[in-house]
Amino acid sequence: MKRIVLLSLTVALPALAETPAQLLNGYVTEAAKAQPGFAPSAERGRQFYVERRSTSDKMPSCSTCHTDEPVAAGKHVITNKRIEPIAPIAGSKRFTEPAKTEKWFHRNCKEVVGRDCTAGEKADLLRFLLTKSGA
Ligand code: HEC
């Protein structure tokens, strides 16, 4: 079981991605396997980001911690710790380390959505965040 989980994680990882755009391409390629012709949508990404779910009372949406304005610094709803803007703005390291990105997608999606996010959802979200940061 453990091996299967690890294996699917490896496959989902766009291995050599280094820029947010490359990471996005990796998710699009992955999503297109399940849904041929998949094209990422910033609008779907925005909806996904602000959607309030009932999995957790404390953290109903991604924007609960990352704020409604993804180019602004966020704040952890429980620890109150500052979170660097989730959108990859100039000079930030956002979405440049695939392992880090996957780790947090896994954790935050489980907490907020109640399951892992799909490659399509990740692609939409990244498309949205890139639009916000001017790319
Ligand atoms: C309880 C607060 C909280 C919520 C809610 C939350 N996050 Fe996060 N998120 C964090 C923290 C803390 C980090 C890691 C610290 C950092 O990178 O600044 C993080 C980092 C991330 C990263 C890493 C980005 C990178 O590559 O640098 C992604 C992706 C992410 N979150 C996606 C999401 C998504 C998608 C949702 C909604 C489904 C969400 N988060 C909801 C707190 C939160």
At 29-61, the pLDDT tens digits run 999 999 999 999 999 999 999 999 999 999 999
101 CA closest ligand 1 atom index:
26
58 lines ligand 1 (CB under 6 A): no
Task: Kindly list the domain boundaries of the chain, sorted by start residue.
Answer: 19-132
Task: Check if CATH label 1.10.760.10 holds for domain 19-132.
Answer: yes
**Quick count: other Cβ atoms within 10 Å of Cβ 131?**
15
Q: What is the pTM of this model?
A: 0.89
User: Structure tokens of 97?
Assistant: 């380390």
Q: How far is the CA of 51 from the centre of ligand 1 (A)?
A: 15
Answer whether 73 contacts ligand 1 (Cβ < 6 A): no
Q: What is the pLDDT of residues 84-106, one digit of tens each?
A: 999 999 889 999 999 999 999 99
CB 20 within 8 A of CB 130: yes
| Distance between CA atoms of residues 84 and 39, nearest Å | 28
Smallest Cα–Cα separation from 44: which of 122, 96, 132, 133? Answer: 122
